[in-house]
Amino acid sequence: MFERVGRELVYEGSILNMYKDSIKVSDGKIAKWDFIGHHGAAAVLPVTAEGKIIMVRQYRNAIDRESLEIPAGGLNPKESTKDAAVRELEEETGYVCGHVELLLSTVPAIAYSSEVIDIYLATQLTHTAQHLDEDEVVEVEEYTVEELCEMIYSCKIQDSKTIAAVLAYKDKYCH
């Protein structure tokens, strides 16, 4: 039996808040656990009419290198994850979709963060133009499912939301 008996805000940021939680554990002692409260995110796996998956390559500060990922981003206030996924698709790739459906939902850091990422499948794509944030530099690339699986299994793709999305799509739609 675990019971949170206290939560102290340590840092308040634009996309997350950091806390020091006090947890009463089964023997009655109080343990201190770190907790990151996240405002939520959405991601999208865009598939072209030719069956290629549109990916984005961008620098990620946490790993100090570029990462190949599906488009994703945080939620705006009162925005649904579906609307955020469609918005991020156009902003990062310059594509709009005629069809979008929930593919899966994931909690990427379940041990210490409340972040939930709903991942959508987007099809019936039409190219428009990217609408990047001021600080974003995003390259748009296309790959087959097989190419992406090879990159996953050779550890070239390490982003958990991307791995989950590609493998779920392959399992559900590629027979």
What residues are labeled active site? 134
Strands (E), the chain: 3-12, 16-24, 30-38, 41-46, 53-60, 65-69, 72-74, 95-106, 117-127, 139-143
Give 3-state DSSP helix, strand, coil % of the chain, rounded to 5: 20, 45, 35
Backbone angles phi, psi at 159, to 5 degrees: -70, 120
Q: Whole-angstrom Cα distance, residue 90 to residue 92?
A: 6
